[in-house]
Amino acid sequence: AQSVTQLDSHVSVSEGTPVLLRCNYSSSYSPSLFWYVQHPNKGLQLLLKYTSAATLVKGINGFEAEFKKSETSFHLTKPSAHMSDAAEYFCVYSGGYNKLIFGAGTRLAVHP
Amino acid sequence: DGGITQSPKYLFRKEGQNVTLSCEQNLNHDAMYWYRQDPGQGLRLIYYSQIVNDFQKGDIAEGYSVSREKKESFPLTVTSAQKNPTAFYLCASSTGREVYSNQPQHFGDGTRLSIL
């Protein structure tokens, strides 16, 4: 069965330092993978998506993610964190029939 | 601007009461979804609809009901049979109706439901 695992429930970084949010997936199919961001009491906003084109995917707000089939990973990175990046981030797998499988989320804290 | 509108933003339910959460989209999307979000958990699918007048149960449909009479609208009713309704409810839509679509979903800003 398909699944998504976000390896860290909380990540804390200082402003201006790199961000790494880790995601592994399990699937028998070629996956479609997404990263979404959620600010408090808001809906989810799409950051980027991978759909079997380039393995390095660039998204909004300076985020990018690299699809590594050999490692079944889709980690999200940003070179320099900003205070406004503090939010919850979800790695999501497209399970077919338009159904999405969500990771449990990673809460990113950014300190001055 | 196109988007998804959920209302109300906050809702309170009394014991034994049914409540209905509204979701409207003007994106001309075929598919619409309802999710429940609890603290520390990812989103769980309640119901989804890929076309007007048709909908399917998701992973946690018990105690909930939906209708899809118009393409733009997909209201969710939380019935009295749902014993633990306190959660954040998110509505989403997407363009794809096809099997294994890779289209992302667009989300509304949610409704927070609490029990009085």
- Return the top range by mean pLDDT from A17-21, A67-71, A95-99, B16-20: A17-21
What confidence tens digit (pLDDT) does each residue in B77-88 have? 999 988 899 999
pLDDT in the model for residue B98: 58
CA torsion sign for A37, B30, B72, B2 is positive
Q: How many CB pairs under 8 A join A and B?
A: 68
The beta-carbon neighbor of A104 closest among B42, B88, B112 is B42
Residue B112: closest C-alpha in chain A: A41
What confidence tens digit (pLDDT) does each residue in B15-68 have? 889 999 999 999 999 999 999 999 877 899 999 998 999 999 999 999 999 999
Say if the Cβ atoms of B106 and A49 lie within 8 Å: no
Q: What is the least distance, in Å, from the CA of A25 to any CA of chain B?
A: 15
The CA distance from B38 to B19, in Å, is 18
pLDDT in the model for residue A41: 86
3-state secondary structure chain A: CCEEEECCCEEEEECCCCEEECEEEECCCCCCEEEEEECCCCCEEEEEEECCCCCEEECHHHCEEEEECCCCEEEEEECCCCHHHCEEEEEEEECCCCCEEECCCEEEEEEC
Residue from A3, A44, A49, A50 to probe the interface with B (highest B Cβ count within 10 Å): A44
Give residue B85's identity as a one-letter amino acid code: P
Say if the Cβ atoms of A49 and B109 lie within 8 Å: no
What confidence tens digit (pLDDT) does each residue in A1-11 have? 778 999 999 99
Give residue B19's identity as a one-letter amino acid code: V
The CA distance from A4 to A33, in Å, is 10
The beta-carbon neighbor of B105 closest among A100, A103, A105 is A100
